[in-house]
């Protein structure tokens, strides 16, 4: 038997003796590990990357050294770790999907990473400027989930979101300044809307009509409301019928707007 024939037989025997189920599991594991590692790296989760890699390596060594550990155990560990990461970075994953053109909310087809960040910055800029100038404002972040009649009580404008436009609506002499502004995705959907006022005699005396309206609308709908006090310029954030944050800072506004754009608008259903 010649050298090349002997070499060919060795190669043939190697493929014959391969457990193809193990090979398939290894390929699946490699793909999943790469995706999870990329998500963690993109979000600069260095500690979790280290822990995730260490766990995989340790169980990989245990798998290779012990015949009692079946391959299904390792697959289960990988899947569990993957589910944990997907839950932990749910918002960031949706952000990545939007960045590649995948849209979850049909009414906001123009939502992209760039214009969402721009929109968030413009809303914060307008709110902070109105706060400094004691201009009252009430902004409702809606996901097309407001009760019938609220939008129709105001004026539908469907305008692009930018700081000058928001401030123009709430300018004290503007015709729509007394009502609420409804934001849906990347549009100012309506302005001058009337909201249900919460009936609660136990509220502090400094809670005015705008705050009562914010509490009322967030009690009847799963929305978030941002209020600027006309008397004090204090910024408040209302949700679930409660003032969740009073004296809201730039960071607080950034967080609530990020939750709205990356969670509320990208929720299934």
Residues 84 and 162 in one domain: no
**How far is CA 52 from its chain centroid?**
24
Which position has the higher pLDDT, 48 or 179? 179
CATH code: domain of residue 149: 3.40.1700.10
Could you tell me if 119 and 47 lie in one domain?
A: no
State residue 187 phi and psi, 5-degree precision: -130, 145
Structure-model confidence comparison of residues 203 and 15, the more confident one: 203
Q: Is the pLDDT of residue 238 over 90?
A: yes
Last residue of one domain, picked from the residues 88, 119, 139 = 88
Is residue 115 located within the same domain as residue 212? yes
Task: Examine residue 13 and state whether it is found in any structural domain, yes or no.
Answer: yes
Q: Yes or no: say if 141 and 238 are a contact pair by the CB < 8 Å rule.
A: no
Smallest CA-to-CA distance from 188 within 129, 142, 223, 121 is with 142
Domain span including residue 17: 3-88
Cα–Cα distance, 31 to 220 (Å, whole number): 45
Which residues are paired to 188 by β-bridges?
A: 159, 183
Q: Give pTM, 2 decimals.
A: 0.61
- Chain segment 19-67, per-residue pLDDT in tens: 556 666 667 767 776 776 666 555 545 556 666 667 666 666 655 555 5
Same-domain check for residues 79 and 143: no
What are the helix (H) ranges across the chain? 3-16, 20-42, 46-65, 71-88, 90-99, 113-132, 163-169, 209-220, 250-259
Same domain, 172 and 243: yes
Structural domain tally of the chain? 2
Pairing between strand 137-142 and 180-184?
Answer: parallel
User: Which position has the token pair 């025997």?
Assistant: 13
């Amino acid at each position: 038997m010649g050298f090349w024939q002997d070499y060919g037989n060795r190669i043939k025997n190697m493929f014959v003796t391969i457990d193809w189920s193990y090979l398939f599991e290894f390929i699946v594991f490699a793909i999943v590990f790469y995706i999870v590692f990329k998500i963690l790296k993109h979000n600069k989760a260095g500690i979790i990357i280290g822990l995730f890699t260490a766990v995989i390596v340790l169980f990989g060594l245990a798998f290779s050294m012990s015949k009692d550990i079946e391959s299904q155990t390792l697959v289960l560990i990988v899947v569990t770790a993957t589910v944990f990461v997907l839950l932990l970075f749910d918002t960031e994953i949706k952000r990545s999907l939007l960045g590649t053109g995948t849209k979850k909310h049909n009414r906001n087809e123009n939502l992209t990473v760039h214009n969402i960040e721009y929109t968030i910055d413009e809303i914060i800029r307008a709110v902070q400027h109105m706060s400094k100038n004691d201009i009252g404002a009430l902004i409702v972040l809606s996901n097309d989930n407001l009760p019938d009649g609220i939008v129709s009580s105001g004026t539908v404008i469907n305008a692009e979101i930018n700081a000058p436009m928001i401030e123009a609506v709430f300018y004290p002499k503007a015709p729509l300044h007394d009502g609420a502004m409804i934001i849906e995705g990347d549009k100012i959907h309506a302005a001058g809307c009337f909201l249900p006022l919460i009936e609660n005699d136990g509220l502090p005396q400094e809670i005015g009509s705008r705050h009562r309206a914010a509490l009322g609308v967030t009690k009847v709908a799963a929305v978030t409301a941002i209020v600027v006090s006309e008397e004090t310029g204090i910024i408040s954030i209302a949700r679930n019928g409660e003032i969740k944050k009073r004296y809201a800072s730039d960071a607080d506004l950034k967080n609530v707007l990020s939750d709205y754009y990356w969670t509320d608008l990208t929720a299934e259903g």
